[in-house]
Structure 1
């Protein structure tokens, strides 16, 4: 059976650059950063007071866009069992559906589904305040022997539902009566591309006509932020330089933490044309690859090069046909070196010719949420026919011999771009999309 063509008909995003497409696009085109001093956490206790916070997203029902009365009641009722990651993911999905012009009843529920990528979701410490206090002995020390009898009864019965990584896909499917394929993928930063690729293949092989593909994540969180500063190469310091994410730049200090979510409405071409939908782009190819060395350490350059080769093969294009690469561009030295090595291996003599943009320079590392937000950034750039420059890029790292632009450059609206993301563990995902 000939695979069906898969197109994009709706976009929604929640990011440090706003919660609507216009503000997001304007920020990219004007070179406006969403990285600022942290407001949601006690910044003075952290090695750096800067982050890309999605400040416009408050979790209020208004943040979910123009939702109908029945859906409003359902979403509002369930907000109490959604952590912030889940709330952002659901809001991005609802906004993508609204942008596509779809409403309840416009699609066959059993031929419609949801596939979402996410990080592992961490509990807020205050969830266990009462339970922990109930287990203290006379010396004020925690006693595990008291946990079953005294601690567990103090935990909210629905606590776990707030933090399960499959809940974004579950909530979106329930709110919109989508009974078809439903899946959740947790591969850190590679989650978005993997989810989008799985959604594309599900429609292409005829198992669904319509899928919401999304991803959500955060590094701005009472517990996750501490983990990030302990585990990841963070740009530290209290000066303004610590608040700059500078991918591939010689003077970069490390990644900047952020939060956000993105979602795309994917349809088979026939389904989209039948309802007269506006087509925003076509997903041509997908790939995911993992690279490991003999000593079990990640081989990210190989994973990146393989993912790029596979996505182009899947899309039926050559490396020379790529309009631009929306890179992972973390802004950490080893990560950028590995990415440059993988892209150079794949591109060969085209390495310093193919335009590369790093949108994390605008909003930091959104974790699993970043990949689809970046895809939306590329689609909006094609609509504007102007690819934004990598923010703050001034001095090329000699080990990153790529065509990183600091200034906006004109592009066509119908070119093919590749979005690339990878995890510290060596998992890389890539998506090839043609604009219209």
Structure 2
């Protein structure tokens, strides 16, 4: 690092546990292996009729065998699919952090999470159909007068598909055996990184001894596909589905949405050491957050640059301390070139040699869950000294001019910058450092 920390290393916020459920793997080891192999989880969407849509016939779907195991191990009556996915990821993260047996002994906890509704399954098109039908029936019955709507709802026992109720915070508190400080974030596709920043803030304030950060998304329905289709945000690739998400490739036509979940355990290095955990996945150095109301969907170079520079400044780091960028890399025409231009502003001539990875090339885009899942990949890059490939970027776009690779790149990685941006003018960037004692679980290579 270019500057010494102003605080003792024991005050570092560290990642001690990770869990994921993704289209390329139902746990961290399989997810990491798929990233290094360049194995895609994007397939043709065959659960619904997409013939009337201009795009959206591919999706990053959790494999059937993984879905069945997650449902069997973590499903419960009335529990949504999104909550079920988060429970699976949290359980893996707790085990990884050595908190699974007696989490209550670790002290008060924070729970920071981002979850995308709808319904008990989350990815079944019927959930939205039921929900929209209920909205239509209610409007026909009572119109849009708030008092009438409230009176009408009081007489109804809504089906799960038509409500957004979740016992998730209470369930996690029960699992941990302690009261939690619960925070649910709504920051669209930047929600995962914002959740990590909020968890770190709660730890630094002393309100919690450790934090569980989780996010999940599963929204592959005609309604959602139609929304994104109208924005011309979804991939219109006609060939092999595995190639439909092409971050920084000149042929890219849009993003591919997925279903996924991730969970990370954060704590101070001192707290981790107090329970005998001295090896960590990553150190959270600093972050930059911003909201820009100038446009609902189009990112701005100036804002991307701003949050990246803020993340570095908060970490006491300089651009030359960044060895890898884990990009937002959605594969849309506008986002990729905007992010690339901001990277060139921050790193200048170093862009010719600075490796850039883009996990969405294999998984598709999981909204807020992407920030958590891709931070897990970032931590593995730091600990293993391996930058995953971007196998779909075979014709790099000169307008982006970023350095991606078709095969894994082995190199020392001491500092990494992770980006996430979202609709509604949400921007987030986080600088991660390689810990002094990196985790090297045998199952992860």
Normalising TM by the smaller chain, what interval?
0.7 to 0.9
Corresponding position: 1:35 with 2:35: no
Encode CA deviations 1:263-316: one digit per residue, 9 max, x unaligned: 1011111111121224222111122122354x8885521221111111111111
| C-alpha RMSD over aligned residues | 3.2
Give the corresponding residue for 2:427: 428
Give the corresponding residue for 1:71: none
Aligned residues: 416
Alpha carbons 1:236, 1:242 under 8 Å: kept = no
Q: What is the DSSP-based 3-state SS (H/G/I as helix, E as strand, rest coil) of the residue aligned with 2:212?
A: strand
What is the CA–CA distance in structure 2 between the aligned matches of 1:235 and 1:133, rounded to whole Å? 30
Corresponding position: 1:313 with 2:313: yes
Give the direction of change, closer, same or farther, for the CA distance of 1:48–1:103 in structure 2 (3 Å limit). closer
Give the direction of change, closer, same or farther, for the CA distance of 1:150–1:423 in structure 2 (3 Å limit). closer
What is the CA–CA distance in structure 2 between the aligned matches of 1:182 and 1:230, rounded to whole Å? 35
Encode CA deviations 1:380-410: one digit per residue, 9 max, x unaligned: 3344432111121122212212222233211
Give the corresponding residue for 1:188: 188
Mapping of residues 178-257 of structure 1, within 5 Å: 178-240=178-240, 243-257=243-257
Encode CA deviations 1:239-261: one digit per residue, 9 max, x unaligned: 32685211111111111111111
Shift of 1:57: 7.1
Shift of 1:17: 0.7
What is the CA–CA distance in structure 2 between the aligned matches of 1:343 and 1:88, rounded to whole Å? 33
Give the corresponding residue for 2:292: 291
Alpha carbons 1:110, 1:180 under 8 Å: kept = no
Segments of structure 1 that go 5 or more residues without pairing to the other structure are 68-74, 137-141
Corresponding position: 1:323 with 2:312: no
TM-score by length of 2: 0.83
What is the CA–CA distance in structure 1 between the aligned matches of 2:424 and 2:158, rounded to whole Å? 34
Corresponding position: 1:156 with 2:163: no
Give the direction of change, closer, same or farther, for the CA distance of 1:431–1:107 in structure 2 (3 Å limit). farther
What is the CA–CA distance in structure 2 between the aligned matches of 1:120 and 1:133, rounded to whole Å? 19
TM-score by length of 1: 0.85
What is the CA–CA distance in structure 2 between the aligned matches of 1:207 and 1:89, rounded to whole Å? 23
Give the direction of change, closer, same or farther, for the CA distance of 1:169–1:243 in structure 2 (3 Å limit). farther
What is the CA–CA distance in structure 2 between the aligned matches of 1:272 and 1:203, rounded to whole Å? 12
Encode CA deviations 1:134-161: one digit per residue, 9 max, x unaligned: 789xxxxx5547988988756437666x
Shift of 1:59: 6.0
Shift of 1:415: 1.5
What is the CA–CA distance in structure 2 between the aligned matches of 1:365 and 1:126, rounded to whole Å? 23
Give the direction of change, closer, same or farther, for the CA distance of 1:399–1:169 in structure 2 (3 Å limit). farther
What is the CA–CA distance in structure 1 between the aligned matches of 2:133 and 2:355, rounded to whole Å? 54
Which moves more between the two structures, 108-117 or 356-365? 108-117
Corresponding position: 1:117 with 2:122: no
Which moves more between the two structures, 127-136 or 194-203? 127-136
What is the CA–CA distance in structure 1 between the aligned matches of 2:136 and 2:316, rounded to whole Å? 60
What is the CA–CA distance in structure 1 between the aligned matches of 2:159 and 2:135, rounded to whole Å? 16
Alpha carbons 2:235, 2:255 under 8 Å: kept = yes
Give the direction of change, closer, same or farther, for the CA distance of 1:80–1:297 in structure 2 (3 Å limit). closer
Segments of structure 2 that go 5 or more residues without pairing to the other structure are 1-5, 439-445
Give the corresponding residue for 2:82: 85
Q: What is the DSSP-based 3-state SS (H/G/I as helix, E as strand, rest coil) of the residue aligned with 2:88?
A: helix
What is the CA–CA distance in structure 1 between the aligned matches of 2:382 and 2:430, rounded to whole Å? 16
What is the CA–CA distance in structure 2 between the aligned matches of 1:203 and 1:135, rounded to whole Å? 44
Shift of 1:86: 2.1
What is the CA–CA distance in structure 2 between the aligned matches of 1:96 and 1:180, rounded to whole Å? 17
Mapping of residues 246-395 of structure 1, within 5 Å: 246-277=246-277, 278-293=279-294, 300-395=300-395
Which moves more between the two structures, 235-244 or 272-281? 235-244
Give the direction of change, closer, same or farther, for the CA distance of 1:330–1:97 in structure 2 (3 Å limit). same
Give the corresponding residue for 1:15: 22
Give the corresponding residue for 2:57: 49
What is the CA–CA distance in structure 2 between the aligned matches of 1:148 and 1:419, rounded to whole Å? 43
Which moves more between the two structures, 424-433 or 213-222? 213-222
Alpha carbons 2:247, 2:332 under 8 Å: kept = yes
Give the corresponding residue for 1:105: 102
Give the direction of change, closer, same or farther, for the CA distance of 1:399–1:416 in structure 2 (3 Å limit). same
